[in-house]
Amino acid sequence: MDNVLQLLLPNVSQVMDEFYLSIIQTLQMVFVSGLISFILSLVIGILLVSTRKGDILANSFVFNVFDKLINLFRSIPFIILIAALIPITRLISGTAVGVQGTLFPLIVGITPFFSRQIESALSEVDDGLIESGIAMGLSPFQIILSVYLKEGISSIVRVTTITVISLIGLTAIVGVVGGGGIGDFAIRYGYQQNQLDATYVSIIVLLIFVSIVQILGTFISKRTTH
């Protein structure tokens, strides 16, 4: 087994511990920043949908503030955003490197995209369902919970899948600035030291991550559709 590994991955097999660690770091980054961003995006997505014109909490001021903020952050390329955020990242995380230093920029980077995705998922909920909720005498909060979120679950799962896959891509980018993870591993060994097997093995790991997320997402989405 060890021989096969050495034959196939002459360079990576020398730094297996580091390789395993980078996988764990990527998982940490995706999981923690994804979870926090999911909660934030859900709130922002709900705000966007419920405050849009004609909706249950219509408020053009709140809507416009969030709408424009999202556009602003989405127009900044992620790699520039990371650099721009360094002072705030230091303030919040105490460091701008390592997994701890990547969480804040990852959250800021993915949340605007995620919020838009959630907004579009919730927009798919039929207006008629919202109207019947209003006619029943449900409060705006109950409508958000019992109609928008409940009826939007399948769409929310779908857009979350898309977003997590994008997030995996972003975690590779934070590698560039010393964030750790698979991206970091691929750049340090694969790119800078020209060890092609390190690049390929990183691709395979990312491919497996993306496939698992996609299969899981499709499965849950199907289970929540009646």
Partner 1 sequence: MSASEIIRTEHVVKTFIVDKKVQPVLKDVSLSIEKGEIFGIIGYSGAGKSTLVRCFNGIEKPTEGDIFFEGQNIVGLKSYELRAIRRKIGMIFQQFNLMPSRTVFGNIALPLKHSGLSKQQIDKRITELLELVDLPDKRNAYPSQLSGGQKQRVAIARALVNQPKILLCDEATSALDPKTTKSILHLLKKLNKELGLTIVVITHEMSVVKEICQKVSVLDKGKIIERGDVYSVFSNPQQELTQSFIETTSALGSVKTLIETQSPVVQLQPGQLLLKISYTTSSVSEPLISYISRTFHVDANIVFGDIQILSGNPLGGLVVILSGQESAIDRALEYVKQRYVAVEVLNHG
Binding site for partner 1 (CB under 8 A): 126, 128-129, 131-139, 142, 146-147, 150-151, 153-154, 224-226
Q: Which is nearer to partner 1, 139 or 194 (CB)?
A: 139
Q: Report how far residue 78's alpha carbon sits from residue 10's, in angstroms, rounded to the nearest whole number.
A: 33
Within 8 A by CB and 6+ apart from 221, the residues are 154, 157, 158, 161
Of the candidates 96, 94, 112, 105, the one whose C-alpha atom is nearest the C-alpha of residue 32 is 105
Q: Report the 10 Å Cβ neighbour count for 225.
A: 11
Of the candidates 77, 33, 40, 76, the one whose C-alpha atom is nearest the C-alpha of residue 176 is 77
Q: Report the 10 Å Cβ neighbour count for 28.
A: 17
Least Cβ distance, residue 128 to partner 1 (angstroms)? 4
Q: Which is nearer to partner 1, 72 or 145 (CB)?
A: 145
Distances (CA, A) of 199 to 6, 17, 95, 107, 195: 16, 16, 27, 26, 7
Q: Which is nearer to partner 1, 125 or 168 (CB)?
A: 125
Least Cβ distance, residue 42 to partner 1 (angstroms)? 17
Least Cβ distance, residue 161 to partner 1 (angstroms)? 18
Q: Which is nearer to partner 1, 153 or 162 (CB)?
A: 153
